[in-house]
Amino acid sequence: MQSQPTSGASTWKSDIVSGFLVFLIALPLCLGIAMASGFPPVAGILTAVVGGVVSSWLGSARLTIKGPAAGLIVIALGAVTELGGGDGQLGYRRALATIVVGAAVQIVFALLRTGSLGDFFPSSVVHGMLAAIGIIICAKQVHVLLGVSPTAKETLHLLAEIPHSVMKLNPEIAFIGVISLVILFGHQAIAQRVAVLKRVPGPLLALLFAVPMGLYFDLDHEHTFTFSHDVFSVGPKFLVNLPNNLMSAITFPDFSAVFTATSIKYIVMFALVGSIESLLTAKAMDMMDLEKRRSDLDRDLFATGVGNLIAGLLGGLPMISEVVRSSANINYGAKSRLSNFFHGTFLLLFVAFVPMLIHRIPLAALAAMLIFAGVRLASPKEFVKTFRIGAEQFAIFSFTVGVTLATDLLMGVAAGIVLKALVHLVNGATLSGLFQPNIEETTHQAGHVVLRVRHAAVFTNFLKLKKQLARHAQVQHVEVDLTETKLVDHTVMERLHELESEFSRQGRHLHVRGLEQHKSLSAHPLSARKKKTAKSSLGLSS
């Protein structure tokens, strides 16, 4: 029997507990993400406060946590660096302007009901983008963890400089950073076996070690020490720096360069990447919701856009529905959007009344948390998982990663999409068929509809198929017949599988048939399928 929907009024006790536990995770991550993005540390907290206190009431997906995310560090830092031309403060204010305009674009997306935007982008490209972001985060934060200022700026050069930083590490700072990293990975491993540890946030354990060590090493005062005949310096620059009060942290955008090509590039990236990540998180949290509630993705995108508009105008980072904090929120027992509100409220109260405690946090500990997040994004398991889905998926995934690392996020995603489309064309899909699916609809009887898809069912034309399915929201039994397709790609297989689960949660049935004459390109159940021919080609497929 399906549980009855719960209201905030009846669940506030569960939500205040989950909100508090998520606050403990969010506090150090917001600080670290802001600093890694070239923003003042308090900017991350400001964004999370807006995401919790404001966006919660604007239609935000019930169990998601809104706030800054590691996945947008690369874009934010790039905006500050390129728009500032060497002036960090100017770059910060001009980056705020791109966030504000990008937020307006997100609001337009929501009003145009483009909440299904996330379904367009191929899974291998999205995962490749996230893996590249993870690598970039690690490349930058390893040096902070070791207490060394690298000379390189580009990702590949930063990776190459890691051995040099290891040789020149600051022993006290590196000790704090490395042990914090060990605590985070150790907590993750042990919590899988000891259930009670799942209720204790890993970042909190890292801070319980790092803050006392910072006091022991007297990082609050500039001084030198000798280790193995070498002299090293430490001081407040290795600690988080916050303004005396929250009001003094408010910074307004500089719109003087907002219509330049560079600004437009970052506006597009903030709007697209932020929207995609947020929508994917909302969909994932719906799958985890024990009450099987479905979020209105257009309203969630609207809430995110308004939150970004306010945060950008006040000096904050861009926000999304963040997947790690959102999943932790559900695991901690959240029942409604009040948990997001409480998480933002706790952050506001903490910064308003005890900011001096935040100043005690060593930057190396924050770097450890960001490296931990980066490794999760670029986990070797993700590479193996993609390869098992299909060699062609791994090629697209790897190509997206490589181009992103060599150029930027927008170029990487575009390159991945183009490569995937080319693979489809090589394998028999027509150019017109890529974007315009041939779908024949038949109603057999009341409550039974069959959609017959011809030629190709691929990521570029899936939105039309999904739209046609949405027109039958009241039909109990829907069939998607793929018998006459030459090619069904992994993205469509994955999306149809998600829709099968969604139909099931609604007490309906979606049946996908007609793949008996198709060849699976790997042993994975959701791998791409290509129709068997008398003489099969050996070309790539996707």
Minimum mean pLDDT range among 4-13, 37-46, 451-460, 519-528: 4-13
Asked if 429 and 456 count as a contact pair (C-beta separation under 8 A), the reply is yes
Minimum mean pLDDT range among 94-108, 250-264, 416-430, 478-492: 416-430
The model's pLDDT over 342-378, given as tens digits with 9 standing for 90+, comes to 999 999 999 988 888 999 999 999 999 999 999 999 9
| Fold assignment, 431-531 | Transcription Regulator spoIIAA (3.30.750)
**pLDDT value of position 384:** 95
- Whether residue 51 has pLDDT greater than 80: yes
- Whether residue 438 has pLDDT greater than 60: yes
The model's pLDDT over 101-159, given as tens digits with 9 standing for 90+, comes to 999 999 999 999 888 877 888 989 999 999 999 999 999 999 999 999 999 989 999 99
CA-closest candidate to residue 41, choices 33, 49, 50: 33
Q: Cβ atoms within 10 A of the Cβ of 92, count?
A: 23
Average pLDDT over residues 494-509: 90
Q: Cβ atoms within 10 A of the Cβ of 170, count?
A: 21
At residue 126, what is the residue type? V
Asked if 279 and 286 count as a contact pair (C-beta separation under 8 A), the reply is no
**pLDDT value of position 6:** 52
| Percent of the chain that is helix, strand, coil (3-state, to 5) | 60, 10, 30
Residue 82 corresponds to which tokens in the numbers above? 């390129």
Residue 187 corresponds to which tokens in the numbers above? 């907590």
- Whether residue 4 has pLDDT greater than 80: no
Beta bridge partners of 439: 453
Minimum mean pLDDT range among 71-80, 186-195, 293-302: 293-302
Confidence of residue 421 (pLDDT cuts 50, 70, 90): very high
Between these two residues, 416 and 354, which has the higher pLDDT value?
416
Average pLDDT over residues 273-282: 89
Q: Residue ranges per domain, the chain?
A: 12-376, 382-426, 431-531
- Whether residue 303 has pLDDT greater than 90: yes
Q: Using alpha carbons only, what angle is made at residue 488 by residues 487 and 491, rounded to the nearest 5 degrees?
A: 140
CA-closest candidate to residue 171, choices 131, 122, 89, 231: 231
- Whether residue 9 has pLDDT greater than 70: no
**Average pLDDT of the chain to the nearest whole number:** 91
d(CA 43, CA 76): 12
**pLDDT value of position 414:** 94
